[in-house]
Amino acid sequence: MTETQEYIGTERFLRGIQTPLAQKFGSVVTAMITPMYAGGATVESMRAEGFGPRAAELLQPSREVDDDSVVSLIDYLGRMGTTGLVVAGTTGSSAHLTHPEHRRLFETVRANTELPIMAGTGSNDPTEMYKLTQHVATHELADAILGVSPYYIKPDQEEIYTYYRLMAEAAGDLPLVAYNIPSRVGGEGIEYETMLRMIRDIPTLRGLKDATGSTDMAVRLRTNPEVPDEFTIFSGDDSLNPQFALEAGAAGAISVQSHWQSPRMSAMYEALRAGNLAGVWQLHAELEPSYIYESTYRSRNPGPATIMMHRLGVIATDSRRLPSIDQSGIEATREEAQSIIEQSGLELAA
Catalytic residues: 179, 209
Per residue in 299-334, is it b (16+ CB within 10 Å) or e — as a string? bebbbbbbbbbbbbebbbbbbbbeebbbbeebeebb
Cβ neighbours of 126 (radius 10 Å):
16
Nearest to 88 by CA among 98, 78, 80, 77: 98
C-alpha span between 36 and 315 (Å, rounded): 9
Nearest to 98 by CA among 69, 132, 68, 58: 132
C-alpha span between 116 and 84 (Å, rounded): 5
C-alpha span between 16 and 11 (Å, rounded): 8
Beta-strand ranges (E) seen in 142-296 are: 144-148, 176-180, 205-210, 232-235, 252-255
For helices 303-311 and 330-344, angle between their N-to-C axes, nearest 10 degrees? 50
